């Protein structure tokens, strides 16, 4: 599933942006901002005269490096004492830079706390949907499992079918149906959950043949909610299936087995594996 958003980002979205991006991007942006800030103030100190903080070397690049490293000491409030501002101008700039450093590191600390404390679901969904005979009629199915070792407590799921149909004058109309599930909530999930929608007379898919269903311009939108032990609060995860992922007249292979001691062994690699009926 993919959406194209035309809404422009605002400053209010910055926190959400930094919380959602990957750890690699997060640290890269911090390092980039830190470097650019020191380059800027290093140039400022060089422009006002490097003699305001240390002796001139006679080389512009060496003077810039002295300004750059003094900026790093000021920004982080380390202050080794080897270089110090002497004039009014350099003291004003250093005081302003120290304030920016305090605010910046406070902001980064808040972001780190937000990233670590934000509850995140770790659910794996099968890569495919299946359509098969089930209890004398047809059923639409998919599977999910918890990729963490913790137990999913009271998981609940809602499934919405988005169906695009052509009507008069070839106008496309998108319709939404909340699908009735064989079971939409369980007490806890230690292994794998196969979610089943039986295609009975009350199903929006009832009037279609298997071949027609596989060719529908349709998607399933899923919303899963459960209590996560690690964060001691409810977490949510969304997912979607395109009907291009649909496989007909197959069933899922068993994803768990029992060892000689009677313990359940869960094989995460078989979540999407199917076999002929």
Strand partners, 137: 134
Phi and psi torsions of 169, nearest 5°: 60, 25
Q: What is the pLDDT of residue 269?
A: 80
pTM of the complete model? 0.65
User: Is-same-fold flag (11-117; 123-276)?
Assistant: no
Query: Residue 42, class by beta-carbon neighbours within 10 Å (0-12 exposed, 13-18 middle, 19+ buried)?
Result: buried
- Place 68 in a pLDDT band, splitting at 50, 70 and 90: very high
Residue whose token pair is 């808040």: 110
**Contact yes or no for 111/25 (Cβ under 8 A):** no
| CATH assignment, 123-276 | 2.60.40.1400
Confidence tier at 3 by pLDDT (50, 70, 90): very low
pLDDT per residue as tens digits for the range 221-271: 999 999 877 677 888 899 999 998 899 999 998 877 777 777 767 777 888
Neighbours of 85 (CB within 10 A): 18
Please say whether the dihedral angle defined by the alpha carbons of residues 30, 35, 40 and 46, taken in this order, is positive or negative.
Answer: positive
Q: For domain 11-117, say whether CATH 1.10.287.70 is its number.
A: yes
Yes or no: say if 83 and 55 are a contact pair by the CB < 8 Å rule: no
Asked if 60 contacts 67 with a C-beta cutoff of 8 angstroms, the reply is no
Domain chopping of the chain, boundaries: 11-117, 123-276
């Amino acid at each position: 599933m993919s959406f194209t958003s035309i809404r422009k980002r605002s400053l209010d979205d910055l926190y959400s942006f930094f919380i959602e991006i990957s750890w690699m991007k997060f640290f890269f942006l911090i390092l980039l901002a830190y470097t650019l800030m020191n380059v800027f103030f290093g140039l400022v100190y060089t422009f006002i005269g490097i003699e305001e903080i240390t002796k001139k070397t006679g080389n512009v690049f060496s003077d810039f490096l002295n300004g750059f490293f003094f900026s790093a000491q000021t920004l982080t409030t380390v202050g080794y004492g080897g270089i110090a501002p002497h004039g009014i101008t350099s003291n004003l700039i250093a005081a302003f830079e120290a304030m920016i450093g305090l605010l910046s590191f406070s902001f980064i600390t808040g972001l780190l706390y937000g990233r670590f404390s934000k509850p995140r679901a770790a659910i794996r969904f099968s890569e495919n949907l299946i359509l098969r005979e089930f209890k004398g009629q047809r059923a639409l199915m998919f599977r999910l499992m918890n990729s963490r070792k913790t137990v999913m407590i009271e998981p609940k799921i809602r499934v919405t079918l988005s169906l695009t149909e052509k009507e008069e004058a070839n106008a496309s109309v998108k319709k939404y149906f909340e699908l009735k599930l064989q079971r939409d909530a369980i007490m806890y999930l230690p292994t794998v959950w196969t979610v089943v929608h039986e295609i009975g007379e009350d199903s929006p898919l009832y009037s279609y043949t298997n071949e027609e269903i596989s060719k529908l311009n349709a998607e399933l939108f899923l919303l899963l909610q459960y209590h996560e032990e690690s964060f001691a609060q409810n977490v949510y995860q969304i997912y979607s299936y395109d009907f291009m992922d649909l496989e007909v007249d197959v069933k899922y292979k068993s994803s768990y087995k029992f060892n000689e001691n009677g313990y359940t062994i869960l094989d995460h690699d078989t979540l999407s594996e199917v076999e002929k009926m």
